[in-house]
Amino acid sequence: MHSAVHIARPELHAAVHCHHEDATAVCMTKDGLLPLCQEALIVHSSLAVHPFEGAATDVEERPRMAQSLGATKRNMMLDNHGPLCCGSTLAEAMVSMYNLTRACQYQVKALSLVGGDLSRLNLPTAAELQSQKQRQEKSSSDKMATVYDGAKLQWQAWVRQIEKRDGPQNIYT
């Protein structure tokens, strides 16, 4: 699946895939990722879906995966498999994966609290989603957004945490 992304979308230098339990569980639902929290909204507009074709090891699936991802999406839920997040940097891909898996954790917990009844969740209306999308687009085009690289800063913080925990001498050998 990584090669499908790199062949079809050369501007995406990083592709991260996982089988996080909650994210994979959400990939198994017909509703997919719901716009329930800010983490979901961060990735929602850049999220594609690819139908399940079994283990993603057949190179003949590459064009279909690329078509599912499309020309502008950066993240994809692989039905019955797990999430795939891409970025122009590893930091972008990892922050997207963090937000997506966190959103899935919240969704699984919220659905379990209401017995799976979507009518008992605070789902935003289409108008509210459009308003939030416009707000997100406005903030990303803001002058501060061109200076502030949140993904890079988050990545650097994670690196510092790992270096502190494990020691740089045990990482960069």
Could you report the per-residue pLDDT of 111-166, keeping only the tens digit for each? 999 999 999 999 999 999 888 888 877 776 666 666 778 899 999 999 999 999 99
Q: Is residue 129 part of a domain?
A: no
Residue range of the domain that includes 23: 2-121
pLDDT digits (tens, 9 = 90+) for 26-46: 999 999 999 999 999 999 989
pLDDT band at 106 (very low <50, low <70, confident <90, very high): very high
Tell me which residue of 33, 67, 31, 35 sits closest to 50, measured CA to CA.
67
Q: Is residue 40 part of a domain?
A: yes
Domain count across the chain: 1
Q: Is residue 155 part of a domain?
A: no
Q: Is residue 93 part of a domain?
A: yes
